[in-house]
A and B are shown apart, each in its own frame.
Chain A
Amino acid sequence: MGLNLKFFDALKFLVRKPHTVRVPYEKKEVAKRYRGIHVNDWSKCIGCGNCAKICTCQAIEMVEIPTLEPKMGQTNLRPQVDYGRCSFCGQCVDVCPTGSLKLSTEYEIISSDVKDFKFIPNLNHDSGPGTGWESDTETSFLDFNRVEMPERDPAERKKDFEWVLEGFSEEEAIFEATRCLGCALCVQGCPTGMYIPEYINAIFHKNYEKSVDWMFVNNPLPEICGTVCTHRCEEACVYHNRGQAIQIRYLKGFAAGKVPDYEKVVGISKKRTGKKVALIGAGPASLSCAFYLRREGIDAVIYEAQEAPGGMLKLGIPRYRLPQSILDKEIDFIKKQGVVFKFGTRVGKDITFEKLHEEYDAVFIGTGYHIGMTMGIPGEEGKDVFDAATLLKDVSLGKEVKIGKKVLVIGGGDVAMDATRTALRLGAEVVILSYRRRYVDMPASDEEKHEAEAEGVQFLTQTLPTEIVRDKSGNIVKVKYVETEMVYEEGAKRPKPVPKMDDVKEWDIDTVIMAIGQKPDWSYLPEKWRKMLKFDKRMKNIIVNDDMMTDIEGVFAGGDVVNPRKDAISAIADGRKAALGIIKYLGIKR
């Protein structure tokens, strides 16, 4: 073992190609998973800023791109990376909810200008899909699956009018609340702009009082909204881009349900200003408006034609979706604030609009769409044909409604779904839903469709009833219908259903419910006043200014008669806005 031998041992490496040094320079082939330069796909990026939030080195800053037009659930901010600070850890990629961000296998930026090392990533350095550090829903830090709301068994629940939902357990709610990243894009989706990240965070900390406190800032009916809201916030949620949105609605309902007495949290306003406002209709718009007026010390008197408060919440939404106990709890709290309700008082009949306008400092119109429309097909006059609005109203008010065993519901909206499911609960054995467009075109929300299907409603899409056939004693025996086909017309937003009139088919039916739309009832408004108001082209909606004031001085409006969305949360938003407008109009300092 002399030194010489070892010397020759080393000699064999003289001709071997070295692994590390490459002369002349060769660009290194990096591994597929290499973490190099940032790439951001702007078509996916929504500017939520979570990448900037997780960056340990604060290398990412969100900068405003003025040329970008932000859509709903997006901002015009885009991440800017400073390579003087970046540590290429890739955590920004793993937290990106949309998957727009990645680190490519490119690693060379050569420049003599230091400014080039701070830039707004786009697709410039992209090395192609499947290379670099990417994240999918599996590898992301985030959990893209929501906690599903437990529901009662469809076979059981269709027998009664009890609530179909079972409600979250505390554990489930907190587990779901953990998912909220606090990026607040959902607030854009909410008509009234609720403080969603704040109240979800409070739920996470089991501080339900604080949570409810946040909700009452701009929604006096949180538990109702937490049960039946159309949850546009969930469409704006960052998780919605690649997975399931956070259960914002039910979390709200859960937290509000955990606080039995709102008075402890919100308190009752002792303010008095001596001003008074009349509100027509006891629906969500008026309730919301009255609540915020009372908070500022303005007396609010609600005139309601029915004997019960709630408007469409009470009359339009069946009890298995919104239990009476929740309605009572929230409306009682509004009553407690000092809001006066005059039930069974129909404006125009029991008291005139002029009188209201004279006696009160301001008037708020919060009436709804209570008249159901009919199709105008042969045979629809007579018994066993209902319009959905009346049917639901009668059922809600506890009137006895008799329907047959084989029910046809016409329409594809939420009201149609409510009608089918109410029909099932009234004892119908077969419920057919006829809709003239395709399944995907139905305006009803997905969950209502699924729930109706689970309960056994048959969906017959692309069908159009043409005639209701009655026997001699006037009972319905058949409904004739035709199928439609979808025709794309140039320039049209969606295809148009065209009936195939020559092929007439039949169903065995004994009851028909039409849920094809509703319209407002303007009969309480004298012709003179109606002319002073400004309506939109289709004579449906009142046009109001930013303070929700109509063209008549001191007359405000909100809810279904104003906004095109016609849902509870928009009505609440309108009511609150109108309250602020009234406060401004009456010159009250807040």
Chain B
Amino acid sequence: MAKIRDFDYEYFIGPQHPGATGNMSYHVWAEGDTIIKIEPNLGYLHRGFEKLTELRHWIKNFPLILRICVPEPDINEVLYAMAIEELNEIDVPERAQYIRIIVLELARLSAYLLYFGGVAGTIGLYTVPQWTIGDRDYILDLFEELTGGRVYHIYQTIGGVRRDIPEGFKERVLKTVDYLEKRLKDYDNLFFQHPIFEKRAKGIGIVDKDAALRFSVTGPNLRAAGVNYDVRKKEPYLIYDRFQFDVPDMYKDGDTYSRVMQRRYEFEESIKIIRQAAADMPEGPVNIKIRNPFEYRVKEGSVYVKLESSKGEYGFYVVSDGGVKPYRLHVRGPSFSHGLQLVRHIAKGTNIADISMILFSLDVCPPDAER
């Protein structure tokens, strides 16, 4: 490693949640309070998921694979199911597709609420996390009713979802999203239009269009840099092509402020999707019989499936050798690009006081980088 000269301080941020939703640390060299070099240091959350999946039957990986990501576990389940379904050419029942859309979008809402609270927390606006965590609980209640679990849902299965929605569930979903939509105005007043937030966030941690493309930035972070790219629009997975929704494009600066506001407007779009999915949901079966979980085989081949998570493009590269277990499963988490190479680039020249907010605004989640 090249010797760094002229620094006054050398210290660590983390590994106790340095503004990222998980344990990772950053080794920081600073001159005064200006960062001149930052080096991510991973390994605190490495649990070897990819190896563990190779040792288990296809069906047994559902309770395991979703543990990669705490704020939004459902994407892992859905992706894993999508990969198997694509390899085995399974037609998922319509109703299950709609339920999956509702689950995914509710999970996105809950992840965004956590995100807003996190960003606000890094600049000392502590009321916001208290509110968002409280509101997130309404979504968790819905999940509990639908799936039996609050955080880890283990609700997806090969060819659909494990149970049909309970009676009156759609109404309660609509009630909750109505409430959340109303609450957005409170959040506007409390947080998004808060002068402190605007002052602290604008012009900080800029990821411009060039940098975003160069560092494979995806998701809301990329959109906040002025590139209109959303997997749901570009490569509609499940049945996203059936819903009317916009990808907000009013923020192009790529700074922290844009990234937060981008998500704030996407929050509304997710609510739109949930309403449409609840209205259009057809009757019918919600899964297919896999008949024997211990002898379930997936056809030989490899597949790369991806979807739009709250953090960015989330993908699984799954290889099957035709056996009862996956041969190889590679998780492509968005944080692998956002949290490592990109941070090395943009943190240079920023203030130590801002680094937490920048990291959190990128929604760096070390579990999906380490797996």
A touches B (Cβ under 8 A): yes
Of the stretches B14-22, B209-217, B287-295, the one at the interface is B287-295
CB contacts under 8 Å to A, within B153-197, are: 154, 157, 162-163, 166, 186, 189-190, 193-195
A3-B195 contact, Cβ under 8 Å, with A33-B148, A103-B148: yes
Minimal Cβ-Cβ distance residue in B for A204: B295
| Other-chain contact of A89, B135, B154, B166, B295 (Cβ < 8 Å) | B154
Minimal beta-carbon separation of B141 from chain A (angstroms): 7
Q: Does A163 contact B (CB under 8 A)?
A: no
Minimal Cβ-Cβ distance residue in B for A53: B294
Minimal beta-carbon separation of B52 from chain A (angstroms): 9
Identify the interface centre among A1, A13, A54, A56: most chain B CB within 10 Å of its CB.
Answer: A56
Q: Does B236 contact A (CB under 8 A)?
A: no
Write out the residue numbers on chain B whose beta carbons fall within 8 Å of the beta carbon of A565. Answer: none
Q: Are B148 and A133 in contact (CB under 8 A)?
A: yes
Interface residues on A, range: 35 or more
Of the stretches A177-185, A214-222, A523-531, the one at the interface is A177-185
| Other-chain contact of A30, B138, B144, B162 (Cβ < 8 Å) | B144
Write out the residue numbers on chain B whose beta carbons fall within 8 Å of the beta carbon of A178. Answer: 291-292, 295
Q: Does A249 contact B (CB under 8 A)?
A: no
Compute how far the CA of A182 lies from the CA of B293 in the bound complex, rounded to whole angstroms. Answer: 11
Minimal Cβ-Cβ distance residue in B for A89: B63
Q: Does B56 contact A (CB under 8 A)?
A: yes
Write out the residue numbers on chain A whose beta carbons fall within 8 Å of the beta carbon of B135. Answer: 19
Compute how far the CA of A142 lies from the CA of B59 in the bound complex, rounded to whole angstroms. Answer: 13
Q: Are A19 and B134 in contact (CB under 8 A)?
A: yes
Q: Does B137 contact A (CB under 8 A)?
A: yes
CB contacts under 8 Å to B, within A169-197, are: 175, 178-182
Q: Does A270 contact B (CB under 8 A)?
A: no
Minimal Cβ-Cβ distance residue in B for A33: B148
A94-B162 contact, Cβ under 8 Å, with A19-B137, A20-B137, A88-B149: yes
Compute how far the CA of A514 lies from the CA of B162 in the bound complex, rounded to whole angstroms. Answer: 55
Q: Does B64 contact A (CB under 8 A)?
A: yes
Q: Does B341 contact A (CB under 8 A)?
A: no
Interface residues on B, range: 35 or more
Compute how far the CA of A53 lies from the CA of B60 in the bound complex, rounded to whole angstroms. Answer: 10
CB contacts under 8 Å to B, within A87-122, are: 87-91, 94-95, 103
Q: Does B267 contact A (CB under 8 A)?
A: no
Q: Does A590 contact B (CB under 8 A)?
A: no
Q: Does A35 contact B (CB under 8 A)?
A: yes
Minimal Cβ-Cβ distance residue in A for B164: A139
| Other-chain contact of A142, B131, B137, B292 (Cβ < 8 Å) | B292
A182-B294 contact, Cβ under 8 Å, with A31-B144, A33-B147, A56-B60: yes
Q: Are B293 and A54 in contact (CB under 8 A)?
A: yes
Q: Are B163 and A33 in contact (CB under 8 A)?
A: yes
Compute how far the CA of A509 lies from the CA of B137 in the bound complex, rounded to whole angstroms. Answer: 79
Binary contact readout B279-321 vs A (1 if CB under 8 angstroms, 0 otherwise): 0000000000111111100000000000000000000000000
Q: Does A467 contact B (CB under 8 A)?
A: no
Binary contact readout B193-211 vs A (1 if CB under 8 angstroms, 0 otherwise): 1110000000000000000
Q: Are B63 and A31 in contact (CB under 8 A)?
A: no
Q: Are B289 and A143 in contact (CB under 8 A)?
A: yes
Q: Does A532 contact B (CB under 8 A)?
A: no
Q: Are A18 and B63 in contact (CB under 8 A)?
A: no
Among all A-B residue pairs, the 3 with the closest Cβ atoms: A89-B63, A35-B148, A31-B145
Some 29 contacts from A to B, beta carbons below 8 A apart, are A5-B189, A6-B193, A9-B190, A10-B190, A18-B134, A19-B134, A19-B138, A32-B166, A33-B144, A33-B145, A33-B148, A33-B163, A33-B166, A56-B60, A56-B61, A56-B64, A87-B63, A87-B152, A89-B62, A91-B60, A91-B154, A91-B293, A95-B293, A142-B291, A142-B292, A178-B292, A179-B291, A180-B295, A181-B294
